[in-house]
Every structure is written in C-alpha cells, then in structure tokens.
Amino acid sequence: MAISPSQLSLFDRCSRKWALSRTSPEPTSPEAQFGIDVHDLIPKAILGRSYATGTFSYMPDPELARILSGVLVREAVRVFHSFGFLKYETERMIETKQVRGRIDLWGETHDGKLIVLDWKTTTRRFTDHDARTSDQLTCYCHLIHHKLGRYPDYVCLVPLSLTEGRGYALRTTRTSEDLTTWLDKLTKVMSAMAQGFTYRNPSACMDYGKSCVYYETCWKEQEIEVLYDDIPSLT
C-alpha cells in the first residue's frame, strides 16, 4: 500500500482522525475546493493556454472568488518565471511501493539546478521554518530521486496568500539526515497502519482555531486506548 504525504502527516498527527477519515471522509470545504481549482488552473496558465476560471458558485462571493483566483494564478506564474526554468514538468504523479505524491512542478534551471515547487493557497503566513520542516517537501525529494536518480537541489514552498493576493517562494534544501529521519518515520507509520494501531491525540482536536470534524464521534467512543504521550514517538 502506497500512502500520500498528507496521509502520512495526518497519521503522525492523529492516527484516530486518519482512521475515521477513511471510513467517513471529511466533506471538502469551499476553501479547500477553491484551492484545488486554483491548483488546476496554474499549469494551464504556465503553458500559456487559455482557460476559464469557472463560476465558483460554491463560494460565499463567487465573483470575488473568480477575481481572486485570477490574481493567485498570475502570482504563481510570476514566481515560476522568477526561477528561469529551461525545462519542467507539472502535475506529475510519482509512486513507489511505500509512498505516492502528485508534485505540482519540478524543473531544471539554466545553471543545472533541479528545483521542486509546491503551491499552497492559504490564509496564514508561512515562514522559512514551515518549508524547512515540511514532510511533504521531504517526500517529494524522495520521489524525485526515485524518478530521476538524483535529489533536488532546492525544494520550494510557494504560498499563494488569499488575504494579500500575492505569492512568494520559500526555498530550502534537504540533507541526507533529513531523508533518513523521514524514511524512519515512514517505516514506523506504515507498520502502525498495518497493525491497525490508532490513538487519540488531544492536542490535534483543535486545528487553527477550529475543532476537528470528528471530535464528537471520536470522544463518544467507549474504548479507552493508550494515551498519546505514552506511545513511542514517530518522529
């Protein structure tokens, strides 16, 4: 079974939420769907193809969403051109026996640097620390190495701010130690998944001020399992 970076992160943060999400998938919020739609538009814009932004009828203000989507797509294209890629690929799914991921964009620059870009539509301000500690970017390094036989020189988180209407690149690298640590975590998580071992992590019941969608279901269960603080760390 190959898992995605988001599944790995979710299991690491709260495996009970991961288990519940598999039996009762969380509905896609309007904000999440907006991010998906913007992601779909970016490759078309980079390739110079004409595209329709859609009606965004699911958003509270569809016209504002349509305008904002155009702004964010243009910002993504601007960031893309700032790297000076000579060749690149977009939206490519790569899969190994353990993990799979769809990488937004990777390419080679005029000076031979291999760079990965990951778009993030967001309302919060991302920092260099977010890029440095992102398991998703580490996973992409692993997948690129599997595909091309070399690791990226840089991996970049590219937040597209919904509040500021701008994009910016947070460039970072991954060391061999980073990759070893991530692979160890992947092995432990997949072992726990195979054994069906899940736990509640009370610190994950709130996420950016919002309660977990599974909160009531999770805490109504009568089974008492081992406390989060008592289990071996996956990190």
Query: What confidence tens digit (pLDDT) does each residue in 15-26 have?
Result: 888 888 888 888
3-class secondary structure per residue, 197-231:
CCCCCHHHCEECCEECCCHHHHHHCCCCCCCHHHC
The answer to whether residue 99 scores a pLDDT higher than 60 is: yes
* Distance between CA atoms of residues 157 and 178, nearest Å: 17
pLDDT, residue 230, reads 45
Give the Cβ contact number of residue 16 at 10 Å. 21
| Residue 4 in tokens | 């995605």
pLDDT band of residue 208 (cuts 50, 70, 90) is low
pLDDT, residue 235, reads 45
pLDDT, residue 229, reads 44
The answer to whether residue 224 scores a pLDDT higher than 90 is: no
* Distance between CA atoms of residues 150 and 229, nearest Å: 38
CATH 3.40.50 fits 5-230, yes or no: no
Query: What confidence tens digit (pLDDT) does each residue in 150-167 have?
Result: 999 999 999 999 999 999
Residue type, 28: T
Question: Which range scores top for mean pLDDT: 32-46, 182-196, 199-213?
Answer: 32-46
The answer to whether residue 44 scores a pLDDT higher than 80 is: yes
